[in-house]
Structure 1
Amino acid sequence: MNTVHTTPDTAKKPRLKTSAMIASIASEGKRVKAAPFGKALVELAASRPEIVGLTADLAKYTDLHLFAQAYPERFFQMGMAEQLLMAAAGGFAKEGFVPFATTYAVFGTRRAFDFVHQVIAEENLNVKLCCALPGLTTGYGPSHQATEDLALMRGIPGMTIVDPCDALDIEQAVPQIAAHQGPVYMRLPRGQVPLVLDEYDYKFELGKAKLLRDGRDVLVISSGFMTMRSLEVADKLRADNVDVAVLHVPTIKPLDDATILAEVKRLDRLVVVAENHSVIGGLGEAVASLLMRNGVARTFRQVALPDAFLDAGALPTLHERYGISTSAMADSIREWL
């Protein structure tokens, strides 16, 4: 019988987990709030009887189960049929309801794209698509990694797109997207969601970008959890006397052109767009196009996922491999400077 000996270092090393239903992307020690989307929707629906909730067999994994428990007569389980989910949501909207439809981002965009495009968007119906596991927030490989969801949704006329950073963003976004007339696609962090923006006197406003911190050397324009990472990078680079500004862009479409242009023009800094999405078709290309159209010349770089089918594995490993971890992003900015 062979005996396997482990060193003390090996014994202490935590086992990295791979999960499709990943609960949180918060760093160790970060504050979190449980199920902010589900709780915010339950609270809003108390005064908005026209709000209904629909899902495609994923209530638990999109936090919509809280709505189902509070309002069972307004909750509709469509089964594993995402095209039917979108068609039914469109039907509810035509009858004057405000449907919140949840699933995973890969299923709500790639699998059901034609139904979102034709049934919902072409008729400008008041449907709110809230889709979990956006970008690289699962280790299950390309079948579950929605690395191109923003590109798909940006291409649909009239589609409003929201990419919240944290629990505060989600809580404040829910009533605003419900009040907005027309289709909305919101990326949905779920489970134990980080809480960071309350430290920056931040308030979500649909269609508005917010400068969270200023800096003379680098301007990072970010969305989603990459805003959290950008703030961590700013703290990390301060030790190298690198001063980093962070402009959070929670609304990808329509883009806050005025604020982005004003911040880029204000100082001659390295401009970095950081996003949890492919380099193709997301916030980075939207910002680059905006600057080009307005004749604004700055050194421009992207922290984003590659134009590739990504590996399966543990998220910390994948984030480091594809350059969107805090340490990898800090290294990239040092190199560009």
Structure 2
Amino acid sequence: MTAAATPSSREVYRDTAVRLLPDDERLVCLDSDTGLFNGIDFGTAADRYINVGIAEHTLMGVAAGLAREGRVPLVNTMAAFAASRALEAVKVDIALNGLPVRIAATHSGVSAGHLGPTHHALEDLAVMRTLPNMTVVVPADAATTETLFRQALEVPGPVYLRLGRNATPDLPPGPPVRLGKAQWLRRGSDITLAACGPLPVLAALAAADLLEQDGVTASVLHVHTVKPLDTEALAEAANTSLAVITVEEHWGAGGFGSAVTEALCDIAPVRVHRVAMPDAFVSVAGGQQYLARRSGITPQAIAEKAAAVLGSTRRSRP
């Protein structure tokens, strides 16, 4: 988790959006005074950048209206506000009508850790994945952010794009990134570590290295699309591993781990254990990596959980 960092996912999203706007008349960039676009030259698309100010509920209503008229709004706000302050409008105006609004939600997880619990977004996956018609995407590095954002533009309904604030390292090479299809970053035969988001995926990869030192081979599955889940990949994980461990920068209740557990209960029952943020508000200020480590999102914690799960599973077998 200390490799050289690339641009943050929100910066990659911004730069990609600015490149796309001039050539795609459908696109309209709606801002809530985030500062992300300060000093940006939109060129011939300047009239399709609209800053509605710090009014997130209104922001979603404007986006719904534009989408009704054939536009594809790119809505920019913090994840904490999209999933709480503006939720009624997201549900009633956007999701209910299946409108093609792209919600670019920055500062997800504890990446706004310096601003305290009001700006932490540890409930947003639970909220957004329950909305019918909503696609939920969580890129884990710069390259996947651009690819998934471009692919998300072709989704017929609304999309929630969960972005961070800080730069994070690139993931190792893997299969081509396809929205709705999880990436196998590593193959093993003992346990599958299914991770969602930049720090969790990096921690899962490092945990697999730790486990290998003890003779345990772990698969690492990068699940960048939380809804719709890649149930085919999850079923493969269940059928080729003794257990599945999910890792996320989100509260345990209702998030990525819950989604995986729900899916596997139906398609391929297997032991699922979750590594997630504790069921408590993060009461201290600090950087994202510090708060994630403090909350147990670490390679060591994942490896220890895996070892304990494997030991218990093997002992319980006849």
Please give the TM-score of this superposition, normalised by the length of structure 2.
0.89
Does residue 1:56 correspond to 2:32, yes or no? yes
Q: Identify the residue that residue 162 of structure 2 maps to in structure 1.
A: 187
Q: Identify the residue that residue 174 of structure 1 maps to in structure 2.
A: 149
Query: Aligned partners of 1:87 and 1:323: how far apart in 2?
Result: 38
Structure 2 contact 109–164 (Cα < 8 Å) conserved = no
Q: Identify the residue that residue 276 of structure 1 maps to in structure 2.
A: 249
Q: Find 2:96's aligned residue among 119, 122, 143.
A: 122
Structure 2 contact 192–241 (Cα < 8 Å) conserved = no
SS at match of 1:301: strand
Structure 1 contact 38–65 (Cα < 8 Å) conserved = no
Query: Aligned partners of 2:162 and 2:107: how far apart in 1?
Result: 8
Structure 1 contact 121–157 (Cα < 8 Å) conserved = yes
Which digits, 9 at most, give the CA deviation of each residue in 1:236-274, with x for residues without a partner? Answer: 332222211111111111111122112211x24221011
Q: Find 2:16's aligned residue among 16, 40, 44.
A: 40
SS at match of 1:79: coil
Q: CA deviation at 1:228?
A: 2.0
Query: Aligned partners of 2:130 and 2:231: how far apart in 1?
Result: 18
Q: CA deviation at 1:194?
A: 2.7
Structure 2 contact 5–167 (Cα < 8 Å) conserved = no
Q: CA deviation at 1:328?
A: 3.0
Query: Aligned partners of 2:205 and 2:5: how far apart in 1?
Result: 15
Query: Aligned partners of 1:280 and 1:218: how far apart in 2?
Result: 23
Q: CA deviation at 1:112?
A: 0.4
Structure 1 contact 135–146 (Cα < 8 Å) conserved = yes
In percent, how many aligned pairs have the same letter? 34
Q: CA deviation at 1:330?
A: 2.9
Structure 2 contact 248–276 (Cα < 8 Å) conserved = yes
The amino acid across from 2:128 in the alignment is M
Question: What does residue range 142-153 of structure 1 map to in structure 2 within 5 Å?
Answer: 142-153=117-128
Distance 1:97 1:65, change over 3 A: farther
- Which segments of 5 or more consecutive residues in structure 1 lack a partner in the other structure? 1-26
Structure 1 contact 162–253 (Cα < 8 Å) conserved = yes
Please give the TM-score of this superposition, normalised by the length of structure 1.
0.85
Q: How many equivalent residue pairs?
A: 304
Query: Aligned partners of 2:174 and 2:129: how far apart in 1?
Result: 29
- Which segments of 5 or more consecutive residues in structure 2 lack a partner in the other structure? 311-318
Tell me which structure has the larger Cα radius of gyration: 1
Could you say what the CA RMSD is over the residues aligned between the two structures, in angstroms?
Answer: 1.8
Query: Aligned partners of 1:67 and 1:174: how far apart in 2?
Result: 19
Which digits, 9 at most, give the CA deviation of each residue in 1:272-329, with x for residues without a partner? Answer: 01111111111111111112123x3423210111222222222343222211123333
Structure 2 contact 249–292 (Cα < 8 Å) conserved = no
Q: CA deviation at 1:102?
A: 0.8
Q: CA deviation at 1:231?
A: 1.2
Query: Aligned partners of 2:68 and 2:41: how far apart in 1?
Result: 22
Structure 2 contact 22–42 (Cα < 8 Å) conserved = no
Query: Aligned partners of 2:135 and 2:254: how far apart in 1?
Result: 15
Q: Identify the residue that residue 213 of structure 1 maps to in structure 2.
A: 186
Does residue 1:305 correspond to 2:280, yes or no? no
Query: Aligned partners of 2:39 and 2:166: how far apart in 1?
Result: 12
Q: Find 2:82's aligned residue among 103, 108, 124.
A: 108
Query: Aligned partners of 1:303 and 1:173: how far apart in 2?
Result: 25
Which digits, 9 at most, give the CA deviation of each residue in 1:147-179, with x for residues without a partner? Answer: 000111111111000011111110101111111
